[in-house]
Amino acid sequence: MNKIIPLVQSSKTQKAEKVAVEMPAAQSIQEQYASAHTSTGKEIAIFVGILVIAILCFFGAMKLC
């Protein structure tokens, strides 16, 4: 774990104090982000299907006018 040490103002003493905050390693954060943001083929197929339906509805509405 990496540590980030921000400076915090104490309300009583008005003096800066150091506080240690534990952070996970950068590589584990990147791995979690990558696993959470992978798109599956099913999601892409649904997106393309909705896009095709929207285009067909647009041209269908143009024929009615």
Confidence of residue 11 (pLDDT cuts 50, 70, 90): low
pLDDT of residue 12: 62
pLDDT of residue 15: 65
pLDDT tens-digit profile of 13-39? 666 677 777 877 888 888 888 888 777
Determine the Cα–Cα distance for residues 42 and 33; give it in Å rounded to an integer. Answer: 20
Residue 57's domain spans which residues? Answer: 2-64
pLDDT of residue 25: 84
Number of domains present in the structure of the chain: 1
pLDDT of residue 35: 85
Does the pTM surpass 0.85? The reply is: no
Secondary structure E strands in the chain:
2-4, 7-9, 16-18, 21-23
Q: List the end-to-end C-alpha distance of the chain, in Å, as a whole number.
A: 64
